[in-house]
Amino acid sequence: MVDMSVNLAGVALRNPVMAAAGTCGYVAELADVLDPARLGAIVTKSITREPREGHPPWRVVEVERGMLNAVGLANVGLDRFLAEKLPAAATVDTVIIASIAGNCIDDYVQVAAAFDKSEHLPAVELNVSCPNTDDGLQFAEHPESLRSLLKEILPVLSQTKMIVKLSPNVGDIVTMARAAIDGGADALTLINTVSAMAIDVRTRKPRLSHGAGGLSGPAIHPIAVRMVHEVYHAVSREAGVPLIGLGGVMTWQDAAELILAGASAVGMGTALFVDPQSPIAVVKGLTKWVQQQGCSSVTELVGQVDNT
């Protein structure tokens, strides 16, 4: 019998497989198609202080080996999330992590402070791939911006762990990971979507109403593996900060790769659109793999890629 449980910065997950932000609504929707008790955790779509309509259609399109989206953070806003969505999510038998997004530092702080009061949210995940309207800079792309954001959020999280989700749209992911860890991150998620664009050659218009968007799915998997590997070896292992590897995981082999690269847990997003039950097969496959590797716990394989 192998032990598939994971201690993610003090949050106990029954297995390392998580459903990724923005791909399973406010949690309860996923429970219609997949037994949440089979997952380690579910991350909500990003919640903002005020409700957001998001971008007009098309906001999600299929491309070769992936999906392109520019949803524009459509969500019901903090008040309705707390009143309607969180109580429904709390009935689900798995760990719930709430994702937060905002336009300025104060937006994040207000939402984080409200989430910290909830007994149902052991951790929040900060979606920092948002421009700060105060200076126009993306928090995820500038180490100083990220540090100033985290410095303000950390004090309002008295009981809730702070997970920081990094963007791959940077020249040096290690610098951003270091900034997040210096800023007090308890865990890092990597990666968010890769900036990309698709054009309809018949109409000569971008396929997404927003123009550019974020690429997800198998096309970005090797980028995620490289970034997890780099961050694990350069900074997170030594700092004792666990990584959640995310990007194009469709099969247990994809998840195993991220674990060997250094991820303690693994997220699945685009795969849920293809087959909402796929995380169950991934957990099963990983369990067999751990056994075949002669290990008694999945944690023994974290970062164990042979670099020689």
Ligand X SMILES: Cc1cc2nc3c(=O)[nH]c(=O)nc-3n(C[C@H](O)[C@H](O)[C@H](O)COP(=O)(O)O)c2cc1C
Tell whether residue 45 is a contact of ligand X (CB under 6 A): yes
The only residue of 247, 262, 279, 303 in contact with ligand X, by rule CB under 6 A = 247
Tell whether residue 220 is a contact of ligand X (CB under 6 A): yes
Tell whether residue 168 is a contact of ligand X (CB under 6 A): no
Q: Which residue is nearest to ligand X (CB)?
A: 22
The DSSP result for the chain, as a single string, is: --B--EEETTEEESSSEEEPTTSSTTSHHHHTTS-GGGSSEEEPPPB-SS-B--PPSP-EEEETTEEEE-----B--HHHIIIIIHHHHTTSSSEEEEEE--SSHHHHHHHHHHHHT-TT-SEEEEE--SB-TTT--BGGG-HHHHHHHHHHHGGG-SSSEEEEEPPS-SS-HHHHHHHHHHTT-SEEEE--PEEEE-EETTTTEESBTTBEEEEESGGGHHHHHHHHHHHIIIIIHHHT--EEEESS--SHHHHHHHHHHT-SEEEESHHHHH-TTHHHHHHHHHHHHHHHTT-SBGGGGTT-----
The only residue of 41, 67, 82, 153 in contact with ligand X, by rule CB under 6 A = 67
The yes-or-no answer on residue 104 being catalytic is: no
Tell whether residue 47 is a contact of ligand X (CB under 6 A): no
Residue whose CB is less far from ligand X, 212 or 296:
212
Tell whether residue 48 is a contact of ligand X (CB under 6 A): no
Tell whether residue 21 is a contact of ligand X (CB under 6 A): yes
**Stretch of 5-13, 16-24, 198-206, 300-308 lying at the interface with ligand X (CB under 6 A):** 16-24
Residues binding ligand X: number (CB under 6 A): 27
The only residue of 15, 48, 127, 299 in contact with ligand X, by rule CB under 6 A = 127
The only residue of 48, 132, 145, 193 in contact with ligand X, by rule CB under 6 A = 193
Catalytic member of 24, 104, 130, 295: 130
The only residue of 99, 160, 167, 236 in contact with ligand X, by rule CB under 6 A = 99
| Active site amino acids | 130
- Which residues form the interface with ligand X (CB under 6 A)? 20-23, 45-46, 60, 67, 69, 71, 73, 99, 127, 165, 192-193, 216-217, 220, 246-249, 268-271
